[in-house]
Structure 1
Amino acid sequence: MTTVSDHQAIRDLVDGWAHFADRRLRQQQAGLFTPDGKVAVYAGDPGSTEPMQVIEGHAALAKSFEILQTYDVTTHFNGQSTINVDGDTATGESYCLAQHMWTENGQRVLLVLSIRYVDTFVRHDSEWRFSDRKLVIDWSDKRPSSES
């Protein structure tokens, strides 16, 4: 039976990904996955393109999250999401505007990625976890930025 608490727990999982990413807590971020969980990164529709990268397992995921260290600051802002629970499995899609800031050749730079996460979740040890996460970059915008 699907409950409101299942939906909330899954939404908390999605928000946890963003929080751990922005705080550079890569081990905790990897811990949101099942032991064999994976992330596949796409530029465009995953139904019509091959992934640019596939990362599988806690150790590989934690290592891959080191990429965030290359930015001075990031903010992953989660938007709308859909969640469909079926017993101990669920699927969902959520939207995120991921903002990355760094300095390049003395110029502050802002990169905004419009991301859709297409997820498969499983209840693992009584908690919801990602088992498969497709990170789909729908568009990006890179530009000079100035401090306010």
Structure 2
Amino acid sequence: MNTEQQLQQTADRLAIRNLVDQYAYCADTRDAQGQMALFTEDTSFLIFMDAQSSQPTQVINNKADLFPVFDNLNTYNATMHFNGQSTVLKLNEETATGITYCIAHHQILKDGTQKLMIAHIKYHDSFVKQNGAWLFSERKLLVDWIENQ
């Protein structure tokens, strides 16, 4: 691999990490449209409320149908999606795969009492580079466990 290829690969890895972090930022700022813009038109978004299940709890097969999922975060008073390690597993010029660990805090105030739901999540992602920008082409959200406080 020559220097130019190494620089491009480093730039691509950084752009992918920024994409992952932008997803969390949009979630926490309730920017559903911004979150949707991070996906390809024909994206696949699969939610596994039980990470051990072979069958997803919910399947979305295009970007337009993501809005209700992302807008649902408005049911919480506050959220904080804390991304941990994020690893690009395979990287080509136009495609990549990766995994990201996330601890997602969801706060509700009910009758003056704070309730907190903390989801421990792994995202298994497929990325595609379109018009020079990395996007999610598939995102699998796998919930390892949930804590309620």
User: Is this a same-fold pair by TM over 0.5?
Assistant: yes
Query: In the alignment, what sits opposite 2:119?
Result: 113
Offset of residue 107 of structure 1 = 2.2
Unaligned runs of 5+ in 1: 144-148
User: Which whole-Å deviations, capped at 9, do the CAs of 1:9-68 have from their partners, x for residues lacking one?
Assistant: 00000000000000000001000000111210003336x420000122222112321110
Structure 1 residue 51 corresponds to structure 2 residue 56: yes
Aligned position for 1:37: 43
* Mapped contact 1:92–1:119 kept (Cα < 8 A): yes
Runs of 4+ aligned structure 1 residues displaced above 6 Å come to none
Distance 1:16 1:80 in 2: 15
Residue identity (%): 42
Pairwise CA RMSD of aligned residues?
Answer: 1.4
Q: Distance in 2 between matches of 1:21 and 1:81?
A: 17
The one of 109, 129, 133 equivalent to 2:139 is 133
Q: For the residues of structure 1 that align with 2:51 and 2:145, how far apart are their CA atoms?
A: 11
Given the alignment, which residue of 10, 14, 33 partners 1:27?
A: 33
| Conserved 8 A contact 2:128-2:137 | yes
**Residue in structure 1 matched with residue 85 of structure 2 by the alignment:** 80
CA distance in 2, matches of 1:59, 1:11: 24
- The C-alpha deviation readout for 1:89-140, integer Å capped at 9, x for no partner, is 1000000000000023442100000000000000112110000000000011
> What letter is aligned with 2:82?
F
Structure 2 gaps of 5+ residues are none
- Give the number of aligned pairs: 142
TM-score after normalising by structure 1: 0.90
Residue aligned with 1:3, SS: helix
Of 50, 59, 71, which residue of structure 2 is paired with 1:66? 71
Counterpart Cα distance in 1 of 2:127 and 2:34: 17
Query: So what's the TM-score if we normalise by structure 2?
Result: 0.90
Q: CA deviation at 1:86?
A: 1.8
Measure, in 2, the Cα distance between the counterparts of 1:69 and 1:107: 18
